[in-house]
Structure 1
Amino acid sequence: MSRPFVVLFSILALVVLPHSAIAGGFEHIARLTSQGYTVGAQAQLLDNGEVLGEIAAERQLSPASVSKLYASAAALERWGPQHRFTTRLVTTGNIDAQGILQGDLVLEGGGDPALATEDLWHLVQGLRQQGVTAVSGTLVISQWRYGPVECITTDRCESQVRSAHAYDARLSSAAVNYGNWCVSVMPGARAGLAARIVSCDTLEPALVVDNQVTTVAAGGKVRLNAERVTHEGVDTLRVSGQVPVGSVPYPVYRSSSDPARQTGHTLLALLEQGGLMVSGGFSTSDTPPPATARPLASVEGKPLQELLLRTLNYSNNFMADVLSLNLVDESRVSLAEAGQALEAFAEGLPGHGPATLLSGSGLTTENRTSAQGVNALLKAMYQRPALFPTFVAGLQLPANGPMRFIRRGGETFQSHVMLKTGTLNQPFAVRSVGGYFRTRSGRWGSFSVLVNGNAKTPYLSWSEVLDPLAEDLTAMIDAH
């Protein structure tokens, strides 16, 4: 056979090679490319760096919520697993003989991504322990570090006036309850009556509730629709539908239009419930308390290792972005500046390559990284023994993770793989996965698969990604 013919034959062979020869370990995932999807994938053993499979591993693609792996890893490296964010009540005033605080009471937001109503109640109790019985001034909610953060995604921008979701909450260093209002819907005494709607947090709802829910006969179905609308700074929650007699309380969560104002409404209600009346109502501020302010009460949030469990297990967008904002030391920080901190972290990872990370949540559709980059992150965390246990604990095991849609594949995939998923549907479909696996012999490996659609590709279900991924990873796990 002449040399020119050999070369021509080799080129033709590459053209007609099956996916298995091109994909190198990701034979099943590679089939998505024939449907018009763009794929980047890589799997490696972590003890010796052996690559078990890859598809265009350096290709820059949208990771969606796999971005949260970067925010979590950067937070762990910065603060360590036991770090806690502190929220304080401070004042420049004095407490008189009757227990009246003569001056303003300032809540200084510490950027706790999981500050909850119970934490605010602890602050109220702290005031009572200081002998405070009333406040003559104003309750000031200080979000001087950041907030409300300028929106750069469509959903958060639209949520300033209307929201039918919980995930699109705006960002503030003084936010409570992930920037969400919560009410419980309960049936009336008998069919035909209006349902009862009560606050999850305070004796009376701290926002306006438009109750259009009716009670139906026992055995009926719960059907609820809820939307928060805002007019002239007032949040109104419109709830419609039906609940049957005898049904348990049904919680409804919707993002607030202004998290700091939500905190003000909630804390003011809790102070009054505790018998501490505030003469001047509340206001919000983006300036720090005076240097002369002294603390009256403080509450430490949950340790970072617990925050990351919630951030990763439930893919909490609010928590991921607040953690990212906290990485920037300057005040009045923007989400873009937080993204720059994440990009700098990624650039410092050996073998990572370029990355564009405009947010830690992945809600920004411009985020880009590669399968190789995600694997570099996973390898770097595996090599940090003081941080790895906390980091890997936030990933889901398909067999028992809280997201039921990941329960795919056989026993090997179910019990040998720990993963984080990412989903976007607009402006194009994204299904991304990254995580770790253990081989039959107990060796650790990492993997990443990024699948991006375009305007012409159809809707992509998770089964179309997880089922072939399970087959490919199972083969790698069984072979080693």
Structure 2
Amino acid sequence: MSPVMRCCLRSTVALLLLCLILPVHASDFETLSRLLDKGFRISAEARLLDEDRVLAAIEPQRLLSPASVSKSYLAAAALDRWGPQHRFTTRLVSTREPDSHGVLQGDLILDGGGDPALTSEDLWRLVQRLYQAGVRRVNGRLLVSQWRFGPVECLTYDRCEARERTRHAYSALLSSAGVNYGNWCVNVAPADTPGEPAIVTDCDSQVAILAIDNGVVTRPDNSGTEISAVRITRDGRDVMRLSGQISTNAHPRDIYRASADPADQMALTLLAMLDQAGIAVSGGADTTQQVPSSEATTLAAVDGKPLQELLLRTMNYSNNYMADMLALNLVEAPRADLRSAGAAIEAFVAGIPEHGPVTLFSGSGLTPENRTSARGANALLDSLYHRPSLFPSFVATLQSPDNGVMRFIRRGSDTFQRHVMLKTGTLNQPVTVRAVSGYFRTARGRWGAFSVLINGTDSTPYLSWSEVLDPLAVDLERMIDNH
């Protein structure tokens, strides 16, 4: 073989090797790709949307856990199914009508509509409308029907633990008849005199709904306030166990903890509100999974907030309760569970061109079994970008690092902070997951999409968000400036 041929052969081999390497260590992800040297698994891609041009990629088709980036899939599927202005309705129904004295001779049934943002304020409006309908007494029971879904199998550790005890609000269990995001709320205020127990009341009622074990002591001015709260279940009843201290000059504090049974929480809360409105219920309150009779008529109803507002809260605050409630609503058949909810989102994704495989066990991303790729996540973003009727509502759910509600994303240069809209995802168990996906606008005003999924292993170190966002900001800034 001549020297010229050997030279050409070496050049060809080198070029082939370069082509094989570039998808893993693309030049414009030069800074981010250094995490590969620490043993992290990465799927990343950035592309322009007006010409479908890939600017950078690191194993873009590798399937990894997206954590809360799963919520982007939920948001897109929900907008596709219902549209931005859809509202969920909660009703009070009965097979009887109130008589001339306002007495309802039969059960009053709350038909849980699956509203993920139903609050005590909404229940007060519902009770007021029942009062306006002439009801003054119920000679029967208050039944809370969760026939659409609930109680839902917990699947994740924190939610399963919350059936007995919890120190968290984010681990709320799920029911189509849930209220206040599945959380109990108590208000802790200082007593007038140091040494006395703090004053603890229910946030939503003048009378006690939740059992309270108060161990918070009032201390002198400026002594500091430290309150520990755990919700436990004792003898079939939820109890808020509080300990710590509060200064006499401290502001009252609201404490939120997930309930053990959201439908039961609804029943107790609504029963207390009916009582305070002067509507007596002789038979107490209970829950049911039965569908209200077709002969039942609506006595009062309240519509929730528009879907676009629900998604703004779901995405900005990465609210797991709201995300999974919305996903469960996507299931057509009664008795929905999280896996069938994930399957409903998967069915939507199947219609997105060039997306590829996806596995979703939940809409929230709390389930570590969820899998997608950077290329798939970008295909989702691209599909929404090309739907003018839905894109404004979808992109509004993402955060700008410059002014987003999550302070940890406020990193990088002004270019990154002001030209990017994103959704993040975080898991720490069973392995570290840091995921981020969203849109960017280039210096010339062109739209781009980027998705970065980083998964650790049992042997990789802890990964902080600064270790992800700082190099990503450097790489994206280069793309933004160059295009």
TM-score by length of 1: 0.97
Counterpart pick for 2:220 among 201, 217, 239: 217
Counterpart contact for 2:217–2:245, Cα < 8 Å:
yes
Question: Per-residue deviation at 1:318?
Answer: 0.6
1:82 and 2:82 correspond: no
> 1:33-76 CA distances to partner (integer Å, 9 max, x unpaired)?
10110011001111111111110000000000000000010000
> 1:204-250 CA distances to partner (integer Å, 9 max, x unpaired)?
33111111111112112221111111133210111111111111111
Counterpart pick for 2:125 among 122, 126, 130: 122
Distance 1:317 1:391 in 2: 18
Alignment of 1:316-355 (within 5 A): 316-355=319-358
Partner of 1:55: 58
Counterpart pick for 2:250 among 247, 250, 270: 247
The residue identity in structure 2 corresponding to 1:87 is T
Alignment of 1:172-187 (within 5 A): 172-187=175-190
Partner of 2:462: 459
Distance 2:235 2:351 in 1: 46
Distance 2:9 2:235 in 1: 73
Partner of 1:447: 450
Question: Per-residue deviation at 1:131?
Answer: 1.0
Aligned partner of residue 298 in structure 2, secondary structure: strand
Distance 2:225 2:463 in 1: 29
Counterpart pick for 2:479 among 469, 476, 480: 476
Aligned partner of residue 25 in structure 1, secondary structure: helix
Partner of 2:107: 104
Alignment of 1:54-73 (within 5 A): 54-73=57-76
Distance 2:238 2:427 in 1: 28
Counterpart pick for 1:229 among 221, 228, 232: 232
Counterpart pick for 2:290 among 280, 287, 290: 287
Distance 1:365 1:166 in 2: 20
Question: Per-residue deviation at 1:2?
Answer: 6.6
Partner of 1:275: 278
Question: Per-residue deviation at 1:3?
Answer: 5.4
Partner of 1:402: 405
1:142 and 2:145 correspond: yes
Counterpart pick for 1:170 among 168, 173, 193: 173
Distance 2:243 2:6 in 1: 74
Distance 1:218 1:35 in 2: 50
Counterpart contact for 2:107–2:141, Cα < 8 Å:
yes
Aligned partner of residue 94 in structure 1, secondary structure: coil
Partner of 2:427: 424
Distance 1:21 1:228 in 2: 47
Counterpart pick for 1:300 among 300, 303, 310: 303
1:257 and 2:260 correspond: yes
Alignment of 1:341-420 (within 5 A): 341-420=344-423
Alignment of 1:309-320 (within 5 A): 309-320=312-323
Aligned partner of residue 28 in structure 2, secondary structure: coil
Aligned partner of residue 442 in structure 1, secondary structure: coil
Counterpart contact for 2:150–2:335, Cα < 8 Å:
yes
Counterpart contact for 1:183–1:205, Cα < 8 Å:
no
Aligned partner of residue 29 in structure 2, secondary structure: coil
Aligned partner of residue 155 in structure 2, secondary structure: coil
Counterpart pick for 1:206 among 195, 209, 225: 209
Question: Per-residue deviation at 1:421?
Answer: 0.2
> 1:95-130 CA distances to partner (integer Å, 9 max, x unpaired)?
122211111000000110101101111111011111
The residue identity in structure 1 corresponding to 2:283 is G
Question: Per-residue deviation at 1:417?
Answer: 0.4
**Distance change in 2, residues 1:355/1:4 (3 Å):** farther
Aligned partner of residue 61 in structure 1, secondary structure: coil
The residue identity in structure 2 corresponding to 1:289 is P
The residue identity in structure 2 corresponding to 1:154 is Y
Distance 1:446 1:376 in 2: 9
Counterpart contact for 1:141–1:260, Cα < 8 Å:
yes
Counterpart pick for 1:434 among 414, 432, 437: 437
Question: Per-residue deviation at 1:5?
Answer: 7.3
Counterpart contact for 2:55–2:479, Cα < 8 Å:
yes
The residue identity in structure 2 corresponding to 1:137 is G
Distance 1:430 1:3 in 2: 48
Question: Per-residue deviation at 1:328?
Answer: 0.9
Aligned partner of residue 468 in structure 1, secondary structure: helix
Further displaced range: 299-308 or 4-13 = 4-13
User: Sequence identity of aligned pairs in percent?
Assistant: 58
Question: Per-residue deviation at 1:187?
Answer: 1.0
The residue identity in structure 2 corresponding to 1:439 is T
The residue identity in structure 2 corresponding to 1:421 is T
TM-score by length of 2: 0.96
Distance 2:303 2:138 in 1: 23
Counterpart contact for 2:23–2:59, Cα < 8 Å:
no
Task: Calculate the aligned-residue CA RMSD, in Å.
Answer: 1.8
Counterpart contact for 1:24–1:55, Cα < 8 Å:
no
Q: Could you tell me which runs of 5 or more consecutive residues in structure 1 were left unpaired when the two chains were aligned.
A: none
Further displaced range: 222-231 or 397-406 = 222-231
Counterpart contact for 1:382–1:388, Cα < 8 Å:
yes
**Distance change in 2, residues 1:346/1:13 (3 Å):** closer
Counterpart contact for 1:174–1:260, Cα < 8 Å:
yes
Counterpart contact for 1:19–1:30, Cα < 8 Å:
no
> 1:187-217 CA distances to partner (integer Å, 9 max, x unpaired)?
1112211111111111133111111111112
Aligned residues: 479
Aligned partner of residue 322 in structure 1, secondary structure: helix
**Distance change in 2, residues 1:2/1:235 (3 Å):** farther
**Distance change in 2, residues 1:121/1:131 (3 Å):** same
Further displaced range: 420-429 or 230-239 = 230-239
